[in-house]
Amino acid sequence: MDIKENLTNIENAIKASCDKVGRDPNTVNIVAVTKYVSVATTKAALDNGLIHIGENRAEGALEKWEELNERGVWHFIGSLQTRKVKKIIGKYEYLHSLDRLSLAEELDKRLKEGQKIKCFVQVNVSGEESKAGIEPNHLRTFIDQLADFEKIQVVGLMTMAPFYEDPELTRPIFKQLRQLRDEIKSLKLDHAPCTELSMGMSNDYLVAVEEGATFVRIGSALVGRE
Ligand SMILES: *Cc1c(COP(=O)(O)O)cnc(C)c1O
């Protein structure tokens, strides 16, 4: 895997998509998803200038975090069991999968005084049963309830689209997440500024960028699988 070459190609493609819709490419952050790769490859990602590292397993990522934590900004992107919260606490600046109050409660309890975690509320836009996330019509209530937890900062919304051969088919899902984000953002809530959109993976990140993604989560197309 040539991470440097992959990154250049991805950045150029993102720039082209941004040009198409009149966006500034600097507003798109690449989260390098390293869940399939070793510590060495994760280090190589950082060496190539990537800053945001995404992992989806508390234990699986521990070794990487211990060796490399001073260098990156760490994102927990997978579903998180409540009992595993203590394993990730203080290690990750971002959580992309906040999907229930019990999780918010546990995070709020475990974080130290003055610590905060930046959260994306995961929304199940596609409605697939296999996908985690809040249903779109429950989102507003959920966001309001999160005001009770002072250590939770809702920075944005996240979704996972189904895998389609033709990434164009994901567009309506990303569009809907953006509309939901705009609705919450317009409320100007202190605990939920909700300015960000975490959407798009290796197969569909360009469509997500066209629809406003500010964080794309890219694994296989960037760092490969080992
Ligand atoms: C694995 C994973 C990704 C990256 O997947 P690729 O298709 O390899 O880019 C992105 N987001 C989440 C939540 C993941 O679990």
Domains of the chain from N-terminus onward? 3-218 (3.20.20.10)
Which residue out of 14, 29, 33 has the highest number of ligand 1 atoms within 8 Å of its CB and is therefore the one to mutate? 33
What pLDDT band is residue 11 in, cutting at 50, 70 and 90?
A: very high
Q: Give tens-digit pLDDT for 110-136.
A: 999 999 999 999 999 999 888 899 999
Stated as kind and residue range, the H or E segment containing 174 is: helix 171-186
- Mutual orientation of helices 39-47 and 3-21 as an angle, nearest 10°? 50
Report how far residue 98's alpha carbon sits from residue 152's, in angstroms, rounded to the nearest whole number: 10
The protein residue whose alpha carbon is closest to atom 7 in ligand 1 is 202
Report how far residue 23's alpha carbon sits from residue 209's, in angstroms, rounded to the nearest whole number: 9
Q: Give tens-digit pLDDT for 144-200.
A: 999 999 999 999 999 999 999 999 999 999 999 999 999 999 999 999 999 999 999
For the cut 80, the answer to whether the pLDDT of residue 204 exceeds it is yes
Report how far residue 8's alpha carbon sits from residue 2's, in angstroms, rounded to the nearest whole number: 10
CB 31 within 8 A of CB 56: no
Atom of ligand 1 nearest to the CA of 97: 13
- Residue 13's nearest CA partner among 223, 219, 203, 220 is 203
pTM comes to 0.97
Report how far residue 162's alpha carbon sits from residue 140's, in angstroms, rounded to the nearest whole number: 23
| Of 206 and 129, more confident | 206
Cross-strand pairs, 216: 30
Q: Which two tokens stand for residue 212?
A: 């406003």
Q: Which two tokens stand for residue 92?
A: 């990750």
- Based on DSSP, count helices (H) and strands (E) in the chain, helices before strands: 9, 8
DSSP string of 22-88, one letter each residue: T--GGG-EEEEE-TTS-HHHHHHHHHTT--EEEE--TTTTHHHHHHHTTTSEEEE-S---GGGHHHH
- Residue 14's nearest CA partner among 30, 25, 3, 2 is 25
The protein residue whose alpha carbon is closest to atom 6 in ligand 1 is 219
The protein residue whose alpha carbon is closest to atom 10 in ligand 1 is 217
Report the pocket of ligand 1 as residue ranges, CB < 6 Å.
Answer: 33, 35, 56, 77-78, 160, 201-203, 217-221
Q: Give tens-digit pLDDT for 34-46.
A: 999 999 999 999 9
User: Among the listed ranges 19-23, 68-72, 106-110, which one has the minimum average pLDDT value?
Assistant: 68-72
Which residue out of 7, 14, 77, 125 has the highest number of ligand 1 atoms within 8 Å of its CB and is therefore the one to mutate? 77
Name residue 161's amino acid: A
